[in-house]
């Protein structure tokens, strides 16, 4: 947790057709910090995570992860378009948990978690399994190693997905409304696990969430989005109790 800048968006613009979804956006996340993106639906929050995952490319601006640019690389002193290899290396620094858990249905829980560490990181099967068991304990599912995803509740599947992302030892976790596909009674268990991870590990987190109490509990900084711009940013005590912007007040009164 050295406080260095891990993620940086520098004047990033993203358009879909003539819809400008992110408009000249600047923000950064320091190593070890937990930053939460809030704001109305359609304000561009998920687009930020998808840009970081290189699922889409910015139209303008620069995105850096741990000092490496996502779209360009330095080759022999020249800045050239990033190769697939470069992009893959940068992406290894990032873990993502989606709304839908996307577990491999034909694999038992343990193998869901060990598959990428073995094939992508080159860990031995034994090392990967030892780490997977530790992570399953961390998410409260130490007794589910041999289950298939369909034998688990949605909340349990999401906790496996969290363990699977952590197994790649990412420097930053992106969390995209990870409880929004869950039945209401399963939400708390998943948020408790994430709170625990936020408070007991030094992993950097960038979360999109509608769970304002969760955001308040784990965030070092909250960014309020509206129409592709950050209209207000600050520590949760400030944003949730004394928001400055009228739009933030309106949004919070609608969701709190």
- 47 is a site residue for ligand ADP (CB under 6 A): yes
| Alpha-carbon span 35 to 30, nearest angstrom | 9
Using the rule CB under 6 A, which residue among 7, 25, 44, 231 binds ligand ADP?
A: 44
Which is closer to ligand ADP, CB of 19 or CB of 200? 19
* Residue placing its CB nearer to ligand ADP in the complex, 116 or 230: 230
Closest CA to 230 of 41, 5, 45: 45
Residue closer to ligand ADP (CB basis): 15 or 133: 15
**Total binding residues toward ligand ADP, as defined by CB under 6 A:** 12
Taking CB under 6 A as the binding criterion, the range among 13-21, 127-135, 142-150, 214-222 that sits at the site for ligand ADP is 13-21
Bridge partners of residue 225, in order along the sequence: 230
The candidate with the shortest Cα–Cα distance to 58, out of 103, 91, 9, is 9
Q: Name which of 132 and 223 has its Cβ closer to ligand ADP.
A: 223
Based on the shown chain and the rule CB under 6 A, indicate whether residue 16 belongs to the binding site for ligand ADP: yes
Stretch that binds ligand ADP, among 16-24, 70-78, 151-159, 190-198 (CB under 6 A): 16-24
CB of 60 to ligand ADP, least distance (A): 16
Cα(3)–Cα(19) distance, integer angstroms: 35
Residue 17 CA to residue 45 CA, distance in Å, equals 18
- Residue 41 engages ligand ADP in binding (rule: CB under 6 A): yes
Tell me if 106 contacts ligand ADP by CB under 6 A. no
Please state the closest distance from residue 36 (CB atom) to ligand ADP, in A.
13
- What x-and-dash track marks residues 181-220 binding ligand ADP by CB under 6 A? ---------------------------x------------
Q: For residues 24 and 144, what is the distance between their CA atoms, to the nearest angstrom? A: 45
The three-class DSSP label of residue 49 is: helix
34: which strand partners?
A: 205
The two structure tokens encoding residue 227: 């129409």
Name the nearest CA neighbour of 195 among 183, 184, 207.
207
Q: What size, in residues, is the chain?
A: 256
Residues facing residue 38 across a β-bridge: 224
Between 39 and 243, CB nearer to ligand ADP: 39
| Contact region with ligand ADP (CB under 6 A), list: 41-49, 79-87, 122-130, 242-250 | 41-49
DSSP β-ladder status, 204-208 and 34-38 = parallel
Query: Can you tell me which of 6, 7, 21, 52 binds ligand ADP, judged by CB under 6 A?
Result: 21
CA–CA dist 175, 55 (Å, integer): 15
Interface residue list for ligand ADP (CB under 6 A): 16, 19, 21, 39, 41-47, 208
């Amino acid at each position: 947790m050295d406080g260095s800048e891990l993620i940086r968006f520098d004047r990033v613009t993203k358009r879909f057709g003539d819809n400008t979804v992110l408009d000249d956006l600047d923000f950064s996340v320091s190593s070890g910090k937990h930053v939460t993106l809030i704001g109305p639906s359609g304000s561009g929050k998920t687009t930020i995570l998808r840009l970081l995952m290189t699922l889409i490319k910015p139209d303008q601006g620069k995105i850096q992860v741990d000092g490496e640019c996502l779209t360009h690389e330095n080759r022999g002193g020249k800045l050239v378009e990033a190769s697939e290899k470069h992009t893959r290396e940068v992406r290894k620094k990032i873990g993502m948990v989606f709304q839908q858990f996307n577990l491999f249905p034909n694999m038992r829980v343990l193998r869901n978690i060990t598959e990428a560490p073995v094939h992508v990181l080159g860990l031995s099967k034994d090392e990967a399994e030892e780490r997977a068991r530790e992570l399953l304990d961390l998410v409260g599912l130490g007794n589910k190693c041999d289950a298939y995803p369909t034998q688990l509740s949605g909340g349990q599947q999401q906790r496996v997905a969290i363990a699977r992302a952590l197994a790649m030892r990412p420097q930053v976790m992106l969390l995209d409304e990870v409880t929004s596909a869950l039945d209401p009674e399963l939400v708390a268990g998943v948020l408790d696990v994430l709170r625990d991870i936020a408070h007991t590990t030094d992993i950097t987190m960038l979360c999109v969430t509608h769970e304002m109490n969760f955001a308040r509990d784990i965030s070092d900084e909250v960014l309020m989005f509206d129409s592709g711009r950050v209209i207000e940013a600050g520590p949760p005590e400030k944003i949730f109790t004394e928001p400055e912007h009228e739009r933030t007040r309106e949004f919070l009164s609608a969701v709190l």
